[in-house]
């Protein structure tokens, strides 16, 4: 059975804007942090993926903002792979503040796999371990 | 009849990432640039809105990425207010490269109006000119 | 005797640029992270400082870049208050990679204290504990 | 005689921080914008420089902040190449607000030329037109 740690991010002053709260674009960056941490915890650090000649671009991203996040807070991000059809996959995120465990935001990103030249690649052939992992993960999430 | 100019953004080197293309989080920032330009062209510069004690936070944002954007390109963003129910409104964006007029990305953001203390506000009372403008705009977009 | 921990920052993908390395502007942001961590370790979290009605703006910043930092690396930042004359202070930073302990960059920032309205303030009167701490620290660094 | 236009940057909301003014790290990014615009006005767009297999990394950067810049302002940046010794060059910047022409900040960046593999390159051989231009420019600035 898999034990997975949530991802934590300490809010930085430079992430705030003139409204006094974190600028909304940064949540999309935090999703990336959480996603790459998720891959690393799964045994697939993104640096290794790139060294194997693969890229994982973002096809779509969305975020629903519920409660503002402020400087001085630490956010806890729960991440999971929702869907994988062999070519594309979807990752879901929930952002909580660590202290009160209130849901501040949630969102999704959608991805595919490409070769370094931005051409499509079959990871079933090119990276069967990654393919198996994603297939296994999403079976459990159906 | 309203004549509206598209918004142009020259891609900056610091907006690129190690994939050699613009990092996806920046499109959310470009949406903000285009939205505030749209408001300014409509006669409502965001600075004035804030001086009137109002905030326009982002409730949701989404973007679909179709073609990568690279350093050296200039993007053209078409912006429109899609919906307004008196409390919330939705803005739609399409990002083209100026040169070839190809669609690179499109997305939406959803907003409401708040007072500076982050409490809800009726702009019908507080900013009737803004209310009328949004109502008028979205009538034409139905 | 004071025991102080270095500050660690895990390099994020969104911090890289098309050269494949971290964009140089981010080092200035890391200095901020390290500086605020330093203040927190010293018993003065910046959030508390702002609640006491004080701001600590940046008057000057400089950085010398020696070795590029790449995605996947963790940097270790050594921070110290170099000078304090009762009004202004200077902070020095050295950025190492955690793994090989090589110096990648170093720099300084210079600061003063202001009230929330951006007017000058005497922290000797307004925040004597902060004043004493800075005086004490820099005595030892002469 | 050379006629050179200053570089203009419209301040974006996402560039502000919780102090209500532009975060200081962005000035380093504006220097980059101004520098690449300067190169383009000089006949050397940075995209072309990279296509010729050259990189121009930043060796050092510094900025002195005098007056805060706020959302809604447009800054005007005056840029010049101060020094060039055949290997390294220094660029100086002055940031004014367009409206009142007050000096808000000024700074320098220092650069060298590298090949795409980050190895040193003699641009006297590799890019004699660039070499001549820089030599000519700095003769006039002595």
- What stretches of A36-135 adopt beta strand conformation (E)? 54-55, 58-65, 74-84, 88-97, 103-112, 114-115
Contact A70, A125 (CB under 8 A): no
Mutate to test the interface with A, among D11, D13, D14, D17 (most CBs of A within 10 A): D17
Q: Is B19–A64 a contact, with Cβ atoms under 8 angstroms apart?
A: no
pLDDT at A140: 67
With beta carbons under 8 A apart, name residues in chain B contacting C27: none
Residue in chain A lying closest to D20 (CA): A18
Q: How far, rounded to the nearest angstrom, does the alpha carbon of residue A15 sit from its chain's CA centroid?
A: 19
| Four-CA torsion A60, A61, A64, A69, nearest 10 degrees | -170
Query: Is the CB of residue A72 less than 8 Å away from at least one CB of chain C?
Result: yes
Using pLDDT thresholds of 50, 70 and 90, give the confidence band for residue B139.
confident
The nearest CA of chain B is from the CA of C52 a distance in Å of 19
Strand, coil or helix: B43? coil
- pLDDT score recorded for residue B3: 80
Integer Rg of chain B from CA:
16
Give the pLDDT mean for B117-133.
95
Catalytic residues of A: 17
Phi and psi, residue B33, nearest 5°: -55, -45
List chains adjacent to chain C, taking adjacency as at least 3 C-beta pairs closer than 8 Å.
A, B, D
Mark yes or no for CB contact B36/D13 under 8 Å: yes
Q: Does the predicted TM-score (pTM) go above 0.95?
A: yes
Q: What does the pLDDT read at residue B141?
A: 65
D1 pLDDT higher than 60: no
Say whether D60 and C59 touch across the interface (CB within 8 A). no
Q: Is the pLDDT of residue B142 over 80?
A: no
Give how far C8 is from chain A: nearest CA, Å: 12
Interface test with B, best of A64, A67, A113 (most B CBs within 10 A): A64
Q: Is B71 on the interface with C (CB under 8 A)?
A: yes
Say whether residue D12 is in contact with chain A using an 8 A CB cutoff. no
pLDDT at A67 over 80: yes
Say yes or no to pLDDT of B55 above 90.
Answer: yes
Determine what percent of chain B is predicted with pLDDT higher than 90: 93
Q: Could you read off the pLDDT of C38-52 as tens digits, one per residue?
A: 999 999 999 999 999
Q: Are C128 and C113 in contact (CB under 8 A)?
A: no
Inter-chain contact A64–B65, Cβ cutoff 8 Å?
Answer: no
Which residues of chain D does B14 touch, with a Cβ-Cβ cutoff of 8 Å?
A: 29, 32
Domains within chain A, CATH numbers bracketed: 7-140 (3.10.129.10)
Stretch D88-95: mean pLDDT: 98
CB atoms within 10 A of CB C22: 24
Strands D88-97 and C88-97, how do they pair? unpaired
CB D81 within 8 A of CB D111: no
With residue B10 as reference, give the H or E element that holds it.
strand B7-10
Percent of residues, chain C, with pLDDT higher than 90: 93
**C36 and A CB contact within 8 Å:** yes
Across the interface, do C14 and A36 touch by the CB < 8 Å criterion? no
**DSSP structure string for D50-111:** HHTTEE--EEEEEEEE-S---TT-EEEEEEEEEEE-SSEEEEEEEEEETTT--EEEEEEEEE
CA dihedral A97, A103, A108, A114 (to 10 degrees): 20
Are D90 and D83 in contact by the 8 Å Cβ rule? The answer is yes
Global ipTM: 0.95
The per-residue pLDDT for range A68-103, each reduced to its tens digit, is 999 999 999 999 999 999 999 999 999 999 999 999
**Residue C140 pLDDT:** 67
Q: Does D118 touch chain B (CB under 8 A)?
A: no
The DSSP symbol for B53 reads T
Would an 8 Å CB–CB cutoff place A131 in contact with chain C?
no
Residues C27, A123: Cα–Cα separation, whole Å: 36
Average pLDDT over residues B1-11: 89
B118 interface with A at CB cutoff 8 Å: yes
Q: Which of B13, B46, B72 sits opposite D13 (nearest CB)?
A: B46
How high is the pLDDT of residue C18?
96
- Nearest by CB: C13 against A12, A14, A46: A46
Query: Measured between beta carbons, which residues in chain C are less than 8 angstroms from residue B13?
Result: 17-18, 23
Task: Using a CB–CB cutoff of 8 Å, tell me whether B72 touches chain D.
Answer: yes
Give the phi and the psi of residue A7 in degrees, each rounded to 5. -100, 135
Confirm or reject contact between D13 and chain B (CB < 8 A).
yes
Tell me what the mean pLDDT of segment C100-111 comes to. 98
Residues 6 or more apart from C121 whose CB is under 8 A from it? C54, C113, C114, C115
Q: How far is B11 from chain D (nearest CA, A)?
A: 10
pLDDT band at C1 (very low <50, low <70, confident <90, very high): low
Contacts of A71 in chain C (CB under 8 A): 46-47
């Amino acid at each position: 059975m898999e034990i997975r740690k949530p991802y934590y991010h300490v809010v930085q002053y430079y992430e705030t804007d003139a409204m006094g709260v974190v600028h909304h674009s940064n949540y999309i960056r935090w999703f990336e942090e959480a996603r790459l941490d998720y891959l690393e915890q799964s045994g697939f650090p993104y640096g290794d993926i790139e060294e194997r000649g693969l890229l994982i671009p973002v096809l779509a991203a969305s975020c629903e903002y519920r409660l503002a996040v402020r400087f001085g807070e630490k956010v806890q991000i729960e991440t999971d792979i929702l869907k994988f059809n062999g070519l594309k996959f979807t990752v879901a995120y929930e952002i909580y503040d660590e202290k009160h465990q209130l849901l501040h935001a949630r969102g999704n990103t959608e991805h595919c796999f490409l070769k370094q030249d931005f051409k499509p690649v079959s990871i079933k052939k090119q990276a069967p371990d990654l393919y198996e992992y994603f297939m296994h993960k999403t079976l459990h999430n159906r």
